[in-house]
């Protein structure tokens, strides 16, 4: 039986089953239960109870593929950036960045004195949004052999949405009710610049550029260039990969949504999730409990800082804070939770289908741009810069 479980495919399927369970729970709970939380804690409990062997992840070998795919994934994130929509939605961008800046100020004003500087760095990258920022931070912490501090990024990513989502949802509901009052008295003005994040349709590609293999090769090539430059310069490879993705998409060398166009996005994200789960392999319950106080303080400070930054940013750009603060809070959950929350708020507060559509349209674009700014861009930049100080 042991030989069967340690077969690479069987080991991969067992861990994949936990990820699929997490995805299912996330779907039926409308993103209230984060997929990563279910997958990570199921893996740890099954390992602690001896149901899963301690070396199951190593037997799978899928995490090795995931570690290779981090660079190409960041390049892909660069090709997603819709510059035209970011310019149109500059207010949402300012609010999102204000949240990250004030959260960083709070975390670094408190955490180094209560815990230590390494703990502050371990928490700030992930709190600014996204699995990729967590991977960047964890890689550096593991390289420096900083003990159980390496658990902090994964634990923050697992838990931060549990606080961020209910807070954002309540703020959005308050704004939607204000909207209804403005609709009733005739003072409501729909937001301008609500164009979608799509790009112009590209010209028809030739047979060579249409090849999935060649499309994927270009993404890997650019990712490899970023990794090489990261190893020979003081700038972290994640920043090179992100910049090359943006430039490559702009000049037409890479396609918009490059990994999606190469039919490789799902397998890439799956491999990266295996890496995230791998950061918890061999961890004891005592080690997790040891870091929970730091995780809790970072999440509370980070959430408060993001909300405060969202308030300040909203005042700067003359938006209602109840509309702007949820935009900043998208750093804590991102897509698809932001989309689902817009649907839920519109459906639960509107009195008619017409009002539901108006509320949804008013909330959706800034929420998506907020999540895009934090999770796709700012978190990678923040994590890439912070780890250079370790």
- Chain segment 325-383, per-residue pLDDT in tens: 999 998 888 766 777 788 888 888 888 888 888 888 888 888 888 887 887 778 888 88
Residue 145 pLDDT greater than 50, yes or no = yes
Structure tokens at 138: 């964890």
Whether residues 54 and 71 share a domain: the answer is no
Count of domains for the chain: 2
pLDDT tens-place string over residues 38-70 = 888 899 889 888 888 888 888 888 888 888 998
Whether residues 118 and 51 share a domain: the answer is no
Residue 273 within a domain? yes
Q: Dihedral sign for Cα 289, 290, 291, 294, please.
A: positive
Whether residues 35 and 119 share a domain: the answer is no
Residue 193 pLDDT greater than 70, yes or no = no
pLDDT range class, residue 12, cuts 50, 70, 90: very high
pLDDT range class, residue 207, cuts 50, 70, 90: low
Residue 194 within a domain? no
Cα angle vertex 311, ends 309, 317, to 5°? Answer: 100
- Give yes or no for a contact between 134 and 6, defined as CB atoms under 8 angstroms apart: no
pLDDT range class, residue 204, cuts 50, 70, 90: low
- Domain around 49: 1-60
pLDDT (0 to 100) of residue 315: 94
What proportion of the chain, given as a percentage, has pLDDT over 90?
27
pLDDT range class, residue 191, cuts 50, 70, 90: low
**DSSP letter at 283?**
-
Whether residues 151 and 266 share a domain: the answer is yes
Name the average pLDDT for the chain: 85
Whether residues 65 and 49 share a domain: the answer is no
pLDDT (0 to 100) of residue 386: 84
pLDDT (0 to 100) of residue 199: 46
The average pLDDT across 79-92 equals 78
Residue 213 pLDDT greater than 60, yes or no = yes
Residue 93 pLDDT greater than 80, yes or no = yes
CA distances 175 to 170, 182, 309, Å, are 9, 10, 18
Whether residues 106 and 219 share a domain: the answer is yes
pLDDT (0 to 100) of residue 381: 82
Whether residues 3 and 152 share a domain: the answer is no
Whether residues 41 and 164 share a domain: the answer is no
pLDDT (0 to 100) of residue 388: 80
Residue 82 pLDDT greater than 80, yes or no = no
Q: Rounded CA gap, 358 and 158, in Å?
A: 33
Whether residues 23 and 142 share a domain: the answer is no
Of the candidates 239, 263, 252, the one whose C-alpha atom is nearest the C-alpha of residue 75 is: 239
Residue 111 pLDDT greater than 90, yes or no = yes
Whether residues 1 and 94 share a domain: the answer is no
- Structural domain ending residue among the three candidates 20, 41, 60: 60
Whether residues 101 and 234 share a domain: the answer is yes
What proportion of the chain, given as a percentage, has pLDDT over 70?
93
- Structural domain ending residue among the three candidates 43, 60, 77: 60
Residue 293 pLDDT greater than 90, yes or no = yes
Q: Which of 25-29, 184-188, 233-237, 263-267 is the most confident on average?
A: 263-267
Whether residues 99 and 236 share a domain: the answer is yes
Contacts of 283 (CB under 8 A, 6+ apart): 44, 148, 151
Cα angle vertex 257, ends 253, 261, to 5°? Answer: 85
Residue 203 within a domain? no
The average pLDDT across 282-309 equals 90
pLDDT (0 to 100) of residue 358: 87
Residue 269 within a domain? yes
- Work out the burial of residue 158: count CB atoms within 10 Å of its CB; fewer than 13 is exposed, 13-18 middle, 19 or more buried: buried
End-to-end Cα spacing for the chain? 44
pLDDT (0 to 100) of residue 139: 83
pLDDT range class, residue 195, cuts 50, 70, 90: very low
């Amino acid at each position: 039986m042991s030989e069967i479980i340690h077969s690479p495919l069987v080991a991969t399927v067992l861990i994949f089953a936990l990820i699929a369970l997490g995805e299912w729970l996330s779907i039926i709970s409308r993103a209230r239960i984060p997929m990563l939380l279910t997958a990570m804690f199921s893996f740890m409990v099954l390992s602690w109870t001896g149901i899963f062997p301690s070396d199951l992840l190593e037997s799978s070998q899928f995490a090795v593929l995931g570690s290779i795919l981090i660079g190409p994934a960041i390049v892909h994130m660069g090709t997603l950036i819709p510059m035209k929509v970011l310019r149109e939605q500059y207010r949402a961008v300012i609010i999102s960045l204000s949240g990250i800046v004030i959260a960083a100020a709070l975390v670094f004003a408190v955490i180094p004195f209560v815990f230590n500087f390494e703990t502050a760095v371990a928490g700030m990258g992930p709190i600014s949004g996204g699995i990729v920022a967590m991977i960047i931070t964890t890689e550096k912490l593991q390289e420096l052999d900083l003990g159980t501090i390496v658990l902090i990024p994964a634990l923050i990513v697992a838990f931060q949405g549990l606080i961020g989502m209910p807070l954002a949802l309540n703020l959005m509901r308050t704004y939607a009710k204000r909207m209804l009052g403005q609709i009733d008295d005739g003072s409501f003005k729909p937001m301008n610049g609500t164009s979608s994040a799509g790009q112009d349709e590209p010209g028809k590609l030739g047979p060579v550029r249409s090849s999935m293999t060649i499309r994927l090769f270009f993404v890997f090539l650019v990712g490899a260039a970023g990794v090489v430059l990261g190893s020979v310069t003081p700038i972290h490879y994640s920043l090179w990969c992100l910049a090359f993705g943006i430039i490559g998409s702009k000049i037409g060398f890479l396609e918009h949504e490059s990994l999606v166009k190469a039919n490789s996005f799902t397998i890439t994200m799956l491999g990266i999730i295996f890496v995230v789960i791998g950061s918890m392999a061999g961890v004891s319950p005592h080690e997790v409990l040891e870091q929970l106080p730091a995780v809790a303080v970072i999440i509370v400070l980070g959430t408060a800082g993001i909300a405060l930054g969202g308030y300040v940013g909203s005042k700067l750009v003359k938006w209602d804070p109840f509309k702007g603060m949820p935009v900043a809070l998208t750093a804590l959950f991102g897509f698809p939770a932001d989309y689902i929350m817009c649907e839920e708020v519109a459906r639960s507060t509107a009195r008619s289908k017409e009002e539901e559509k108006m509320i949804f349209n008013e909330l959706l674009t800034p929420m998506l741009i907020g999540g895009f700014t934090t999770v796709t861009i700012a978190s990678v930049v923040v994590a890439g810069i912070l780890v250079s100080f370790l």
